[in-house]
Structures are given as C-alpha cells and as structure tokens.
C-alpha cells in the first residue's frame, strides 16, 4: 500500500493569502481553506514581490498596461514609474529557494502575482488577458512547477488537479534526492501511469516508449524530458469519461476474481459516476475493496488508487 509523506510539502504562496498585511491598502486576503485545510499538509513559504522590490505599505496601486505591443507594470498614477524589470529581477532572485518547492499558490487578478486573466489597460479599454509580471517569470523559470490561483481553488476539479500535481512533484523531488537511475525512473512512471492515463491518453502512449530508450548514460536528460511532458499532461482536466476508462482498465486485473454480481455493481457505479450521480470515491472504494481480497502488486503500488491522503476528501465531490 502506498504511504504518503509524514512531513509537510513545501509550497510557495502569495503572502497576503496567509494573512500578511502586505497589500497596497495595508490589508490582506487571508484564505481560510488554504490556511486551515491545505495548511495541514503543506508547509507554506510566503512571498510578496511588490514589497520585495521596495514598494511601501500602504502604497499606490500598480497596474498592467500594454504599450508598443508589450505588457508593463506601472504606477497607477504615473506610468513613468515602471516596475516591470524590478519584478522580473525579484522573481529571478528567488530561484534558489523556489527550486525546492512542489507548488505555488498565487493571488488572482494581481498585476504582480496573477496567473491568468489579470486586467491589462491599453488606454482605451481593459482586457483580461494578462499575467502578473512576477507570476509569468516564476512559471517561465519553473515550467514543471504546479501553479494555481486561490480563486480557482473554489472549483473542485481544479482544486483536485492542483493538489494531485503537488503530490506528484513532491514524489519527483524525492526521486531526485535519492539519485535518479533507469530503474527508479521506470518505477516512478509505472506508479503514475494510471494517473497519466486519466489526464492525457496521447502522453500516456508516448512516455512508455520514450523511457524504453533510457540508459545509464542518458537517464538524466531523459528524466528532464519525462517530467516536463508528465507535468504538462497533468495540467489537463481529467474528465469523468477518462476516469471511467481507467477504472475499467483497473477492473481488468480482477477479471478472474469477480462474479456476475460484483461486475454488475461496478458497472452501475461507473455509469452513475459518469452521469454525475456519484463521486469518484465510490467506484474507487469498491475496487479497493476487491483488491483487499485479491491483492495485486501493480495496483497496490499505483498512486491512482491513493493519490493523496484520504482525509483530504478530494474525490468526494459530485
């Protein structure tokens, strides 16, 4: 059976989301779910790039503008006060500690920290197509890092997707810390194959053959290619249909151990889950029940069946 970490997972976060009074108006945006629920499992490293570059508390707001086809971050009243490069430099200066993170939660709509759909002013209208300057550089520096905004964590599917990616990245960091080898990389892939299958069939079909060419002399480069492709694939939402395909695949390992009643019960659970009448935890629990009676080493070691601590209850939503 897979065991989850005993220590908390390091995750970066915009400082205002944990109650630090660093916003332009001297306030904060404490997020109770992040603080109280995710805080049980994640060790947060707070950071405010606007304070880091020397802007005071309180301060005049800053905004994103588009001029000459480029997006810049400037003072709301004096566009000559341009903070774009300072925010980029701030992000670059944090790379040493950020390299150890397994995820980052950003403040939505922020001209420094917004992950997407931040307001950009072009002098005539406002368009929500921007990314905060610090956030953009963070994601450029660490393209594999799971990154999410606090506003999107209210969506159950996006919340589960982010947390799942954080746990995958945590296990990847452990793999690297223990020393990468062809055997350890192959084992990591085997234990995550079903998770990958639920997110992207194309990448699932590509990564197996790619790893088959891994050798001692190229495993480091192969590992870098692998994690890049894996984390990109896991950003995609896993649909109910994709999950049902995986559940049916898993059931195949029980083909010699299920009677007609067991099969009918599983088929009914899959269909009711597909239609949105049951949460994912129901068919997963049924399958786990059968595997407790008829253990299978591959399934018991697969992270799909136990992707994160059960008491996070992420698979309980309909």
Q: Looking at residue 27, what is its pLDDT?
A: 94
Q: Looking at residue 222, what is its pLDDT?
A: 96
> What is the DSSP track for 26-94?
S-----HIIIIIGGGTEEEEEE-HHHHTT--SS---EEEEEETTEEEEEESS-TTSB-HHHHHHHHHHT
- Non-local (6+) Cβ contacts of 308 within 8 A are 4, 41, 163, 164, 167, 314
Looking at residue 316, the DSSP 8-state letter turns out to be: G
Tokens of 13: 């976060």
Q: Looking at residue 123, what is its pLDDT?
A: 81
Residue 168's domain comprises 156-234
State which of 234, 266, 293 marks the end of a domain: 234
pLDDT in tens, 268-289: 999 999 999 999 999 999 999 9
Q: Residues 22, 131: one domain?
A: yes
* Residue 163 is assigned to a structural domain of this protein: yes
Q: How many domains does the chain have?
A: 3
* Residue 4 is assigned to a structural domain of this protein: no
Query: Which residues of the chain carry a pLDDT beneath 50?
Result: 1
* Residue 246 is assigned to a structural domain of this protein: yes
Phi, psi of 301 (to 5 degrees): -95, -10
Q: Looking at residue 6, what is its pLDDT?
A: 66
Helices (H) and strands (E) in the chain, counts: 13, 8
Q: How many CB atoms lie within 10 A of CB 184?
A: 15
- Can you tell me which residue has the tokens 């005539």? 124
* Residue 111 is assigned to a structural domain of this protein: yes
Q: Residues 161, 281: one domain?
A: no
State which of 218, 234, 250 marks the end of a domain: 234
- Give every strand in the sheet of 147-149, ordered side by side: 42-47, 9-14, 104-106, 147-149
Q: Residues 206, 249: one domain?
A: no
Q: Looking at residue 208, what is its pLDDT?
A: 92
For the question of whether the overall pTM of this predicted structure is more than 0.85, the answer is yes
State which of 118, 136, 154 marks the end of a domain: 154
Tokens of 162: 């982010």
Tokens of 198: 């639920």
Tokens of 271: 């269909």
Q: Residues 88, 200: one domain?
A: no
- Which is it for the CA torsion 224, 225, 230, 232, positive or negative? positive
Q: Residues 13, 116: one domain?
A: yes
Q: Residues 147, 272: one domain?
A: no
Q: How many CB atoms lie within 10 A of CB 102?
A: 22
Q: Residues 184, 146: one domain?
A: no
Facing residues of 128 across strands?
Answer: 119
């Amino acid at each position: 059976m897979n065991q989850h970490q005993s220590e908390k997972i390091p995750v970066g976060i915009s400082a205002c989301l944990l109650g630090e009074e660093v916003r332009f108006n001297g306030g904060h945006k404490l997020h109770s779910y992040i603080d109280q629920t995710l805080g049980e499992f994640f060790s947060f490293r707070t950071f405010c790039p606007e304070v880091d570059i020397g802007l005071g508390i309180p301060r005049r707001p800053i905004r994103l503008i588009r001029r000459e086809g480029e997006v810049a971050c400037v003072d709301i009243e004096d566009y000559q006060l341009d903070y774009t490069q300072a925010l980029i430099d701030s992000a670059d200066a944090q790379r040493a500690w950020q390299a150890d993170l397994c995820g980052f939660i950003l403040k939505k709509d922020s001209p420094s920290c917004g992950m997407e759909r931040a307001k950009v002013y072009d002098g005539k209208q406002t368009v929500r197509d921007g990314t905060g300057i610090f956030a953009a550089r963070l994601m450029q520096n660490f393209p594999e890092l799971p990154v999410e905004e606090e506003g999107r964590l209210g969506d159950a599917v996006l919340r589960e997707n982010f947390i799942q990616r954080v746990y995958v990245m945590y296990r990847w960091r452990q793999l690297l810390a223990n020393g990468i080898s062809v055997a350890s990389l192959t084992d990591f892939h085997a234990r995550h194959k079903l998770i990958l299958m639920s997110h992207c069939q194309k990448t699932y079909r590509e990564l197996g053959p790619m790893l088959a060419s891994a050798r001692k002399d190229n495993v480091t480069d192969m590992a870098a290619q692998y994690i890049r492709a894996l984390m990109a694939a896991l950003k995609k939402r896993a649909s109910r249909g994709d999950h049902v395909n995986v559940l049916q695949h898993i059931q195949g390992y029980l083909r010699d151990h299920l009677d007609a009643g067991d099969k009918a019960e599983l088929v009914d659970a899959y269909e009711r889950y597909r239609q949105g009448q049951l949460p994912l935890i129901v068919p997963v629990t049924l399958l786990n029940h059968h595997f407790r009676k008829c253990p299978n080493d591959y399934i018991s070691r697969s992270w799909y069946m136990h992707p994160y601590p059960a008491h996070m209850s992420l698979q309980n939503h309909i």
